[in-house]
Amino acid sequence: MELWSQVYDPFGNTFLSTLVAALPVLVLMGGLGFFHMKAHVAAVLGLVVAFALAVFVVKMPLGMAGMAAYFGAIFSLVGICWIIVNLMFLYRLTMKSGLFQVLQDSIGAITSDRRLQLVLIAFCFGAFFEGAAGGGTPVAVTGAILIGLGFSPLAASGLSLIANTAPVAYGGLGTPIIVLNSVTLNTDEYLLQLSAMVGRQLPFFSVIVPFWLVITFCGFKRAMAIWPAILVGGITFAIPQFLISNYHGPWLVDMVSAMISMVALALFLRVWKPKDVMVAADGSASGMVPYAEAVKANHGHSPERVRQAWMPWVILTVILFAWGLPIVKGWLNTKGITYFEYQIPGLHKLVQRVAPAVATPHTEGAVLKFGLISATGTGILIAAIISGLMMGFKVKELVSNWLETLWVMRYSIITIVAMIALSYTTRYSGMDAILGLAFANTGWLYPFFGTLIGWIGVALTGTDAGSNALFGSQQQITANKIGISPTLMAAANSSGGVMGKMIDAQSIVVAGVATGYTGKEGVILRYVFWHSIALASLVGLFVMLQAYVWPFTEMVIDPGVAATATAH
């Protein structure tokens, strides 16, 4: 096939071209949020619209558009579904063995106050799993725990999604920052500078998000009744997040910060007690009782049983931590045997991004990379098998339970495959760049709207890393054109993107599966949508302060470091 150059204004009218480019996302989100479609139906419909626009509006060759969708579908199966299916397999094993109930009880025993349980589980514990694995892991685990503690499926889903925001930029051992570096200057020095810049933005929101979470659950007045504990949870996460990201790098930010926050909050609750305890899981005033009258938290399980309940998750954490280390990946990957790179025919190096999306025309690669053993999903499967054997399951039972999990998740898999195929179609057809260029026309307001580009990117791709891959280079190019720090805007893409994590289809589907709320994805989307917009807008305003207002401008490091950055 011949080289095809993307077209960024097919109608010769920026407003009309932008509106049409947004249609796939509008169809997907509208189908879920307003027309109450099943998630897999809305995702497939969005994919059909994206494919039709790619072929008939931006004139992408039919075969090329088909291969873009195929690339997205294959990537979603090996890169996302492989993670989620195996994680749910482990979760279902712990449920059937009764150990998940013990885990819930042991966490709930730290405090019987539902507000504080939210901070401990959804925010702190979720951040730990975000740092270890990402890919829907934190939402699945925390949502399931909250359900077991008595929260409604909607509250468990929505609140887990809101909580899983501030840690996302450093998820999966810093993967989004590593990807952002790879599409900008791609040096070890610049990786640390990007990590530091994001670490000068998100800690503010690491303090805000726990408050936002509890206020959403039970209202401002009842949230403020426990403000010291919420503040401890937020600050003891935010300070390590700042220090580690600025003075070490992106790899261990979430895991270490989350561990410090959990321990600090648990210790604080030994010396500080709320006047009233919220015992009801619906957040209502009727669920408040005086501390002296509240039933003291007591899980009633032996220490040995509690250790057994935590062991599968300890095993999972250790394996995922090891799997994330480059030296381990090197040991596990043998090219042609356990590691494969598959160039997508009819697509690889045949799509050309051109001005004004990039400074220098370049072709887009389309290579599926998969480590059979080193894949995160494989690590989770190994952890699940080891844990299952320790729980007393026989090999035959493990196989049947895995197949049962696959069947239970069949519609969720269809949803994820269609959604990622949609995002790859928009990416390779250039419709993502049309949306990005529309925001680039906002002039001095670009720091705000550029931040929202990252938000849109995560909503489209389902990952902060995906958003950074799509828009990281463009953010720097646009920043250079309007005379602000390209490093600031590259980081803003990642920081703004984290707030889109709660509305991407992948996260919503995972939350629905974990909480038994399958088929209600539209309800979950409506629950979190305005929270996502509000928090993304706050990040945008903060980035504007960094760009223009002292003393926030002093937080911008090496503002000209990327001035010579070129598109990759």
Distances from the Cα of 272 to the Cα of 17, 264, 267, 297, 380, angstroms: 57, 12, 9, 15, 38
Look-up of token digits 């150990």: 99
- Over 202-247, what HEC string results? HHHHHHHHHHHHHHHHHCHHHHHCCHHHHHHHHHHHHHHHHHHHHH
Structure tokens at 360: 């220098």
Please state, in angstroms and rounded to a whole number, the distance separating the CA atoms of residues 235 and 404: 42
Q: What are phi and psi of 394, to 5 degrees?
A: -85, 160
Asked if pLDDT for residue 159 goes beyond 90, the answer is yes
H or E segment to which residue 4 belongs: strand 4-5
Q: Is the Cβ–Cβ distance between 419 and 46 less than 8 Å?
A: yes
The closest of 204, 85, 78 to 498, measured between CA atoms, is: 204
* Beta-sheet strand order (sheet of 362-364): 4-5, 351-353, 362-364
Section 72-90 average pLDDT: 84
DSSP result, 103-148: HHHHHHTT---HHHHHIIIIIIIHHHHHHHT-TTHHHHHHHHHHHH
Q: How confident is the model at residue 567 (pLDDT cuts 50, 70, 90)?
A: very low
364: helix, strand or coil: strand
Please state, in angstroms and rounded to a whole number, the distance separating the CA atoms of residues 7 and 429: 8
pLDDT (tens digit per residue) in 466-493: 788 767 877 887 887 788 999 999 999 9
pLDDT (tens digit per residue) in 186-237: 777 888 999 999 999 999 999 999 999 999 999 999 999 999 999 999 999 9
DSSP tag of 296 = P
pLDDT (tens digit per residue) in 384-425: 999 999 999 999 999 999 999 999 888 878 887 887 788 789
The pLDDT, as a whole number, for residue 293 is 67
H or E segment to which residue 288 belongs: strand 288-290
Q: Percentage of the chain surpassing pLDDT 70?
A: 95
CA-based diameter of the chain, in Å? 76
Q: Is the Cβ–Cβ distance between 85 and 377 less than 8 Å?
A: yes
Amino acid code (one letter) for 7: V
What residues form DSSP beta bridges with 288?
A: 278
The closest of 456, 496, 494, 539 to 196, measured between CA atoms, is: 494
Distances from the Cα of 533 to the Cα of 107, 125, 537, angstroms: 31, 24, 6
Please state, in angstroms and rounded to a whole number, the distance separating the CA atoms of residues 241 and 131: 11
The pLDDT, as a whole number, for residue 422 is 86
On average, the pLDDT of the chain sits at 87
Q: Is the Cβ–Cβ distance between 281 and 155 less than 8 Å?
A: yes
Amino acid code (one letter) for 416: I
Tell me if the pTM is above 0.85: no
pLDDT (tens digit per residue) in 329-359: 889 988 888 898 899 999 999 999 888 877 7
- Cα-only R_g, the chain: 23
282: helix, strand or coil: coil
pLDDT (tens digit per residue) in 210-223: 999 999 999 999 99
The closest of 228, 230, 174, 223 to 207, measured between CA atoms, is: 230
Structure tokens at 480: 């250079």
Structure tokens at 443: 């002039």
DSSP result, 455-503: HHHHHHHSSHHHHHHHHHHHHHHHHHHHTS-HHHHHHHHHHHHGGGGGG
End-to-end, the C-alpha distance of the chain in Å comes to 22
pLDDT (tens digit per residue) in 106-133: 877 888 899 999 999 999 999 988 887 6
The pLDDT, as a whole number, for residue 561 is 44
Q: Is the Cβ–Cβ distance between 453 and 496 less than 8 Å?
A: yes
Structure tokens at 185: 């200057």
Q: What are phi and psi of 351, to 5 degrees?
A: -105, 125
The pLDDT, as a whole number, for residue 568 is 33
Residues in contact with 538: Cβ distance below 8 Å, sequence separation at least 6, in sequence order:
205, 208
Q: How confident is the model at residue 565 (pLDDT cuts 50, 70, 90)?
A: very low
